[in-house]
């Protein structure tokens, strides 16, 4: 497996190197804003040269429903999006968003789950990019990528409950949502009983890049995470949690993602809900 992240300077060097025998990486722009507007207009105002726009809502997620607000897309939907972008089974891929990191991590996780190993996230996103931008949409040759779901561990509601009880289940949402003090999106406030609060924002530095590996390791160790502990992550709808999975991978922990996350969990009123600062 390739490294999970790439710095802006490293990417600029890769794109500028005319002497490599390898094809340049396929660049995917997945800028996205929770609640809208879509990032397509931002893409049109300027994107990495050659980058293809990918819509998180329709190409990296399925239709909202009982399994959450951003369930996994069907393999066919992901296949068509990646082939349109020029992704082959052996392509190197770099994904980026505006800088928050959630959408890029979702794209990274989904491609990894679909069996594509050579995918990296631009650390800090477009906000840390100092190179040129383009406004012309590229027209790449269609790719041949074939997704094969199952390469990354996944949790359903039952699995999340078991992990909260017998392993480590991290809640990547903001602390006030975990505590049940504020819930702006989903129909119930609180957290999965036994889950530990681990806001995604606390894994990111002031420049938008992920913290250094030693700082991430200390953060996760304080939460009870070890390389051998079975660990899973959820958030509101399986997007920001992917950034925690990415951060965990940098310290050698292969964590499971609960794609349905809180939006699926709280949709069933028979499932228990905990409130307050403790796992409960």
- Catalogue all structural domains in the chain, each as residue range(s) with its CATH number: 5-128 (3.40.250.10), 157-265 (3.40.250.10)
Q: Provide the pLDDT for residue 46.
A: 97
Q: How many CB atoms lie within 10 A of CB 218?
A: 12
Q: Provide the pLDDT for residue 19.
A: 63
Q: CA 49, CA 52: separation in Å to the nearest integer?
A: 9
Q: Provide the pLDDT for residue 280.
A: 87
Q: CA 75, CA 88: separation in Å to the nearest integer?
A: 15
User: Per residue in 148-178, pLDDT tens?
Assistant: 999 999 999 999 999 999 999 999 999 999 9
> C-alpha 66: how far from its chain's center?
21
User: Per residue in 7-62, pLDDT tens?
Assistant: 999 999 999 886 665 789 999 999 998 877 778 999 999 999 999 999 999 999 99
For the annotated catalytic residues, the residue numbers are: 235
User: Per residue in 81-129, pLDDT tens?
Assistant: 999 999 999 999 999 999 999 999 999 999 999 999 999 999 999 999 9
Helix axes 240-250, 213-222, angle to 10 degrees: 110
Q: Provide the pLDDT for residue 205.
A: 95
- Residue 79: partners with Cβ closer than 8 Å, 6 or more residues away: 145, 146, 147
Name the DSSP class of 43: H
Q: With H, G, I as helix, E, B as strand and everything else as coil, classify residue 64.
A: coil
Structural contact between residues 262 and 186, judged by C-beta atoms closer than 8 angstroms: yes
> C-alpha 54: how far from its chain's center?
14
Q: Provide the pLDDT for residue 34.
A: 84
Query: CA angle 275-174-199, nearest 5°?
Result: 105
Q: How many CB atoms lie within 10 A of CB 280?
A: 16
Q: Among positive and negative, which fits the CA dihedral 11, 17, 23, 26?
A: positive
Q: CA 229, CA 255: separation in Å to the nearest integer?
A: 9
Q: Provide the pLDDT for residue 20.
A: 63
Alpha-carbon distances of 87 from 40, 84, 98, 114, rounded to whole Å:
20, 8, 21, 13
Count H helices, E strands: the chain? Answer: 10, 9
Q: Looking at the predicted structure, is the pLDDT value of residue 1 above 50?
A: no
In what side-by-side order are the strands of the sheet with 5-6?
A: 5-6, 119-122, 93-96, 26-29, 52-53
Task: Note the pTM of the prediction, 2 decimals.
Answer: 0.96
Q: CA 193, CA 232: separation in Å to the nearest integer?
A: 14
User: Per residue in 240-274, pLDDT tens?
Assistant: 999 999 999 999 999 999 999 999 999 999 999 99
Structural contact between residues 174 and 197, judged by C-beta atoms closer than 8 angstroms: no
């Amino acid at each position: 497996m390739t490294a999970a992240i790439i710095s802006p300077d490293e990417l600029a060097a890769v794109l500028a190197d005319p002497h490599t025998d390898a094809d340049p990486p396929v660049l995917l722009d997945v800028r996205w804003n929770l609640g809208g507007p879509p990032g397509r207009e931002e893409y049109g105002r300027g994107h990495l040269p050659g980058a293809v726009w990918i819509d998180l809502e329709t190409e990296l997620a399925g239709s909202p429903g009982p399994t959450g607000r951003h369930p996994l897309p069907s393999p066919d939907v992901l296949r068509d999006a990646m082939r349109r972008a020029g992704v082959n089974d052996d392509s190197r891929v770099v994904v980026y968003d505006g800088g928050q990191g959630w959408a890029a991590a979702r794209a990274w996780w989904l491609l990894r789950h679909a069996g594509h190993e050579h995918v990296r996230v631009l650390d800090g996103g477009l906000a840390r990019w100092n190179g040129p931008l383009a406004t012309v949409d590229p027209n790449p040759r269609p790719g041949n990528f074939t997704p094969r779901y199952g390469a990354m561990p996944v949790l359903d509601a039952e699995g999340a409950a078991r992990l909260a009880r017998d392993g480590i289940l991290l809640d990547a949402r903001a602390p006030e949502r975990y505590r049940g003090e504020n819930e702006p999106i989903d129909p119930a406030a609180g957290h999965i009983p036994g889950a530990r609060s681990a806001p995604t924002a606390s894994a990111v530095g002031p420049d938008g890049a992920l913290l250094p590996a030693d700082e991430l390791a200390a953060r996760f160790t304080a939460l009870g995470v070890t390389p051998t502990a079975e660990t899973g992550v959820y958030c509101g709808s399986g997007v920001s949690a992917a950034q925690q999975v990415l951060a965990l991978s940098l310290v050698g922990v292969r964590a499971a993602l609960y794609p349905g996350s809180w939006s699926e969990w709280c949709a069933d009123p028979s499932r228990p809900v905990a409130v307050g600062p403790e796992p409960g």
